[in-house]
Amino acid sequence: MHIDKYAFSDYALLVGECIVPILTVRNLPDETHRALRHRAAEHGRSTEAEVRSILEEAVRPAKRLKIGTELFRIGQEVGGMDDLEIPGDRSEIRRADFE
């Protein structure tokens, strides 16, 4: 796979063959930055890792509805689908992992 390293916008970085998004936060008050550093130290991680954790929880909370898990629960509730007739070769069929 050929990647032109000059084709990216200013919010991505080429690391090996992966494009890594970059987020810059401007005008962060000193008090907020100090609070982030303190919180990161309490959790034993860098300020950057703490910000990633905060953002991840904000946009993808642990208690969010996971559609695959919910569909599996509904399937179990109605008796499962183990006896479902599937024509053809079933050797390639695997259970999906939605976690």
Spans in the chain with pLDDT lower than 70 = 1-15, 80-87, 90, 98-99
Cα of 19 vs its chain's centroid, Å? 15
pLDDT confidence of residue 64: 74
pLDDT confidence of residue 81: 67
